Amino acid sequence: MRSLIPQLSRGDRADPAPSRLAYRLNRLLLTPLFHRSLRIGLPLCILAISVAVVALSPERRETVALWVEDVKLSVQQRPEFMVKLMAIDGASDRVAEAIREIVPVHFPVSSFDLDLPAMQRTIAGLDAVARADLRIRPGGILQVRVSERMPVVVWRQRGRIEMLDVTGQRVATLDARTDRPDLPLIAGRGAQQLVDEALELVAAARPLDDRLRGLVRVGERRWDVMLEDDRRILLPEVSPVRALEQVLALHQAQEILDRDVELVDMRNPRRPTVRLAQAAAENLRRIKQIEMGVRTE
């Protein structure tokens, strides 16, 4: 029976029972599928709608893009990210100058705008640079560590004089041979590909140090050792160092190079051939005729 006048006697607490609607809603929330869709689906839905609202209008899209660009720039331009100067280590003044010339950076610049791999490629592309390491040091310094190529030979080719390193890479152009008299001279086509063999030959030819003028690559297959007074030693294609040592042994034993010899031909190492100078050859013939008792005019 429902009393006509709602009685609220003292100590009578409110009815703890949920209403039917509250009870049903509660049960609906406890349904796993519904609960999951509410927890994951609803935020996803709101996100999708807001993205769609922005993306469907070009003006809003532009505004958002501008805003994003603005924020990005304001972060990038913070003083913590600015690079103020470039420090170059391990390079001679000329190379450092060249690096500063080819790396077109105007400091100060944000480190986000620096394309370090490309700069590294550019610097490593210099002939005089063997290896370049770039990094941005704390404090806003672009640190370039360079190891230069070591020139080991001078290569004369078609009127140009260039310095090469061990691998045959060009290091720099020389104005005159006399700029680097300490380096051995090589010449001929294909000589730059065999710099290491040339160095071995030069090392082997140390006993005739003062007479050695240089090495000539002949026909891109073998070496000629050029000595002073246009004398030559023709070396074979295979194991030229052994052949050169053989000649030096002959020289030690018989002083062959001190004689009036134009050319020592070692192209066939088992049969060394010597060409005398014109005058020496005539002298030799005359001596032979005298020995044989032939009268001459």
Interacting residue ranges for another protein, rule: CB under 8 A: 10-11, 15-18, 20, 23-24, 26-27, 30-32
CB of residue 109 to another protein, shortest distance in Å: 58
CB of residue 45 to another protein, shortest distance in Å: 23
**β-strand partners of 174:** 161
CB of residue 10 to another protein, shortest distance in Å: 7
Select 2 or 206, whichever has its Cβ closest to another protein: 2
Identity at 68, one-letter amino acid code: V
Select 30 or 279, whichever has its Cβ closest to another protein: 30
CB of residue 23 to another protein, shortest distance in Å: 5
Select 31 or 239, whichever has its Cβ closest to another protein: 31
Select 24 or 288, whichever has its Cβ closest to another protein: 24
Select 34 or 112, whichever has its Cβ closest to another protein: 34
Residue 84 structure tokens: 């103020």
Identity at 231, one-letter amino acid code: R
Alpha carbon distances (Å) from 165 to 8, 130, 168, 212, 220: 107, 10, 5, 20, 19
Radius of gyration of the CA atoms of the chain, in A: 44
Task: For residue 38, give the DSSP letter.
Answer: I
Select 20 or 270, whichever has its Cβ closest to another protein: 20
Helix (H) or strand (E) holding 64: helix 58-76
- 109 and 83 in contact (C-beta within 8 Å)? yes
> What is the spatial distance between Cα 172 and Cα 21, in angstroms, rounded to a whole number?
91
CB of residue 74 to another protein, shortest distance in Å: 47
Q: Residue 236, Cα to own-chain centre: how many angstroms?
A: 35
CB of residue 20 to another protein, shortest distance in Å: 7
- 65 and 73 in contact (C-beta within 8 Å)? no
